[in-house]
Chains A and B, each alone.
Chain A
Amino acid sequence: MTERPFAITLDVGTSLANRTGAWRTERPVYVDRMPPCNDACPAGENAQAWLALAEEGRYQEAWRQVVEDNPFPAVMGRVCYHPCQRACNRATLDETVGIHAVERFLGDEAIRAGWPLPGPASATGRRVLVVGAGPAGLSAAYHLRRAGHEVVVMDGSATPGGMLRHGIPRYRLPRPVLDAEVERLLATGVELRPATTVTDLRATMAEGGFDAAFVAVGASLAANAYVPAGDSARVLDALSLLAATEAGDPPALGRRVAVYGGGDTAVDAARTARRLGATEPLIVYRRTRERMPAHEEEVEAAEAEGVRLRWLSTIARAERGSVTVEEMALDDTGFPRPTGRTQRLGADTVVLALGERADLSLFDGLDGVRTGDGVVRAGHDGSTGAPGVFAGGDVVEGERTVTNAVGRGKAGARAIDAWLGGPSPERPPRPGLAVAERLNTWYYADAPASVEQRLTAARRASGFDEVVRGLDESTALYEARRCLSCGNCFECDNCYGVCPDNAVVKLGTGSRYRIDYDYCKGCGLCARECPCGAIDMVPEPI
């Protein structure tokens, strides 16, 4: 080309010499906020991370992300009451993401495909005793084993699983699923000693050469509850009913069964009774339905199966073939007060489901252990005050759920590992919550939640087949893709696209973006149009 005219004709792209970043008073900064699902998960799962992998069809990687925190995806996908979903921001758009259903899908895929759990790190030569093969104990065993310790799990029962096996009915958790996940866990090198009841912890530790112990004996005793009953009245506790049913020796209940209590165990008992032939199981609860501790979906499932509910009632007395219930009324503080009005109802059996308590005898004589309110007062990391003795699960205070137990098992394992000289379990400061107000939801496509198929009521009443059917792959994939990725960049390219100054650099799949502060004028469009709220505008340092 010949020489260009002076000044009026310019070489392309030369404005790069003009660093407009100097205009800026605020700068965009990429952040990772705490997604509400992760925040709510007692097991500390990074649900958002594994959903992100799942939505790309990378199921095995997604599963590996799950088992970073929880070795029982197939179990938890079924029995967890998914607090993650109650926290899910998608509810502000349409319905929450079916996180549990995706987890279950991943868990089932893993069982089907035989994906192994990650094996142990190099051996530390340390030995850890775990007492109790329930979710807390097995979770602790898993994480301890991963850290390279030798782990022995002792349990008084002949079969492992604790409440998973003896407390949760098969229609919620088929035993092949439980067996598969427990076996897979043991395959990492965890030694299980079933039918081994520990009575003297220090002696067992000394005898076995254990450097530390994690006690997770659970809460398997029925709470003491007194219901005046005639001699011939048939009264059972719910845990016994569930355990006997699991053992293949269910008690005869009769046609009319009254279950007394409002928790999940009461519901399990009523639903189990229905399957054992009770045509009219009745749950009697002293407060209102809204105040019932049992999870709503469980209550709904029970009703669908023919379980009836009676609110604001206590069982005043049990007789042969009947119970006398007294109506209650809530006072100003919401506490139920007796009204004196009673009614007699037919009941062949009364099942008491008024709570469970832990057997704390193992801690007797251990220096430094504090107990109270029927639980061990342990630190959040499970430390009991007795050197080398940690506790978790239902034996310590806290929500008595499988998920919480798994989380406490992990926390205990980390604390034990640190106590044994492993890396300190220090965590980075918890980032701020990715609240719904930070999202720009316009970008998310409308997508109602998938519905898991359920067994028909008729088939439910006739046996212990699993009620909730899982999602097939396409539905699970769809459900994973409903995740909003709250507070964490999912590489939608919005910031890269909406910058009027081309000041966002795209670093390639998986590597996210970088702000080019040479040109960024600080307009804030990237932050405003970020669907998931992963960009903060912060004042420029003066």
Chain B
Amino acid sequence: MLQQVEGSQAVAEAVAACRPRVVCAYPITPQTHIVEALGRMVRSGALAPCRFLNVESEFAAMSVAIGASATGARVYTATASQGLLFMAEAVYNAGGLGLPVVMTLADRAVGAPINIWNDHSDAMAVRDAGWVQLFASSNQEAVDQHVLAFRLAEELSVPVMVCMDGFVLTHATEAVSVPDPSDVDAFLPPFRPRQVLDPADPMSIGAMVGPEAFTEVRYLAHLRMLAALDRVPALAAELGERVGRPVPALVAPYRLQGADVALVAMGSVLGTIADAVDALRDAGHRVGALGVTTFRPFPAAAVRDALGAVPSVVVVDRAFSPGFGGVLATDVAMALAGADVPVASVVAGLGGRPVTEASLRRLAERALDGSLEALSFLDLDRPAVEAALAADGSARPTGPTAESVLRHRGARSRRPPGSPGTPAGPTSTEVAS
């Protein structure tokens, strides 16, 4: 049943429908509304016998989740930004131990400077922690992905992080259909842990593993992650059939048919991108988009299949690796390795900077006319940067290393579609004025 509801509330209700037994959280904006709502439900008795633990830090939150999960409880927590980094050690630990914890990440920039608004730099910081990372582009997706997340996590014994954009989604009120508890019950069987602390069947969990077996432990974890690439589509289809709407799986193509340029992105920006694509198509430009819904494991094959016929790819990243470029762009480029398709990395929407339809349109147009640089920063305030560099007096915008890196990337991306490559000049510039 569709209802106008804040994203956080909707997610809380979806999580509640999954009947967690332990919920633990430490407050951090913009995750708070989710756990407040769950806290209320636990207090009211609606979630009995669930316990809500107010912990003293995110590190403790994930640690409580680890203990509870290893004891056979379905556990849930949520965090964001600094909180995720503060719990990072435990995030890796849950991943390494293969504990099916489900966590909402209300994506938010990571300081310094401190910033409470949305980008994806928090999620990128733990992409290698052994967690499945699902990105929601809407609150409806977020809600459905949480239900899927518990099933996936428990099937594979892998923790799952559902990433939803802070404020943009968490605090947005829109029409969302929260799954009926009976549908969730039918979809999500009781948790049957692969390993559990039980006096009737004692075992030692968390051994020290040396060089003789560490690689194999990691390889097996890799295989479990790869299995998610099969299970996510299957579970999305199953859940979608049950709730009567499509549930996102690995990737979400949008009007890619015959496209000359594809815009690739994750999260809520895909809505704006769709609007931009529509407008560009209306103007006769053959532009499409690809949403990446499952970021870890990375659906390289699905990405390649979706983008196979597109001669130019622009990846809009809401996070980047300073000194290099967009993180998603790197992964997409690797997925397309050998396809001889230029991949331009565009860093956009950092720290809550709006990504407007107009800017996206201009971006697409530059990609279409071949003037888009290998790496660019959308809507960069060039005068402010110039002023800062001037004030610094020892301006070093591009050192030798950065220069060569960018030259290398430019050599691939500045070629117009179908034409032989030309050497790229050293540049780090904005797309729009």
Q: Which residues of A contact B (CB under 8 A)?
A: 1-12
State whether B194 touches A5 (Cβ < 8 A).
Answer: yes
Taking the closest CB of chain B, its distance from the CB of A57, in whole angstroms, is 40
Say yes or no: is B206 at the interface (Cβ < 8 Å to chain A): yes
State whether A12 touches B220 (Cβ < 8 A).
Answer: no
Taking the closest CB of chain A, its distance from the CB of B69, in whole angstroms, is 13
Chain B residues closer than 8 Å to A1, beta-carbon distance: 195-196, 201
The digit string for B211-224, where 1 denotes a CB below 8 A from any CB of A, is: 00110110010000
A7 to B196, CA, bound (A): 15
State whether B209 touches A7 (Cβ < 8 A).
Answer: yes
State whether B203 touches A11 (Cβ < 8 A).
Answer: yes
A4 to B203, CA, bound (A): 9
| Closest A residue, CB atoms, query B99 | A5
Say yes or no: is B202 at the interface (Cβ < 8 Å to chain A): yes
State whether B202 touches A10 (Cβ < 8 A).
Answer: no
| Closest B residue, CB atoms, query A6 | B220
* Contact among A3, A4, A8 with B209 in the assembled complex (CB-CB below 8 Å): A8
State whether A12 touches B194 (Cβ < 8 A).
Answer: no
A11 to B205, CA, bound (A): 9
State whether B209 touches A5 (Cβ < 8 A).
Answer: no
A11 to B207, CA, bound (A): 11
Say yes or no: is B182 at the interface (Cβ < 8 Å to chain A): no
Chain B residues closer than 8 Å to A3, beta-carbon distance: 194
The digit string for B184-204, where 1 denotes a CB below 8 A from any CB of A, is: 000000001011100001111
A542 to B348, CA, bound (A): 73
State whether A9 touches B216 (Cβ < 8 A).
Answer: no
Taking the closest CB of chain B, its distance from the CB of A4, in whole angstroms, is 6
Q: Which residues of B contact A (CB under 8 A)?
A: 96-98, 157, 192, 194-196, 201-207, 209, 213-214, 216-217, 220
Beyond the given pairs A6-B220, A8-B207, 13 more chain A to chain B contacts, judged by CB atoms under 8 angstroms and listed by A's residue number, are A1-B195, A1-B201, A2-B192, A2-B194, A5-B98, A6-B213, A6-B217, A7-B207, A7-B213, A9-B206, A10-B204, A12-B203, A12-B204
* Contact among B97, B192, B196 with A8 in the assembled complex (CB-CB below 8 Å): B97
Taking the closest CB of chain B, its distance from the CB of A166, in whole angstroms, is 76
A156 to B202, CA, bound (A): 82
Chain A residues closer than 8 Å to B203, beta-carbon distance: 4, 9-12
Chain A residues closer than 8 Å to B194, beta-carbon distance: 2-5
State whether A4 touches B195 (Cβ < 8 A).
Answer: yes
* Contact among B96, B196, B207 with A10 in the assembled complex (CB-CB below 8 Å): B207
State whether B206 touches A8 (Cβ < 8 A).
Answer: yes
A385 to B298, CA, bound (A): 106
State whether B217 touches A8 (Cβ < 8 A).
Answer: yes
A10 to B195, CA, bound (A): 10
A4 to B209, CA, bound (A): 15
A330 to B201, CA, bound (A): 84
A4 to B195, CA, bound (A): 6
Chain B residues closer than 8 Å to A2, beta-carbon distance: 192, 194-195
| Closest A residue, CB atoms, query B213 | A7
Chain B residues closer than 8 Å to A12, beta-carbon distance: 202-204
30 contacts between A and B (CB under 8 A): A1-B195, A1-B196, A2-B192, A3-B194, A5-B97, A5-B98, A5-B157, A5-B194, A5-B195, A5-B220, A6-B216, A6-B217, A6-B220, A7-B207, A7-B214, A7-B216, A8-B96, A8-B98, A8-B206, A8-B209, A9-B195, A9-B205, A9-B206, A9-B207, A10-B204, A10-B207, A11-B203, A11-B204, A12-B202, A12-B204
* Nearest 5 CB-CB pairings of A with B: A10-B204, A7-B213, A7-B209, A12-B202, A9-B205
Chain A residues closer than 8 Å to B209, beta-carbon distance: 7-8
Chain A residues closer than 8 Å to B204, beta-carbon distance: 9-12
Taking the closest CB of chain A, its distance from the CB of B188, in whole angstroms, is 18
Chain B residues closer than 8 Å to A6, beta-carbon distance: 213, 216-217, 220
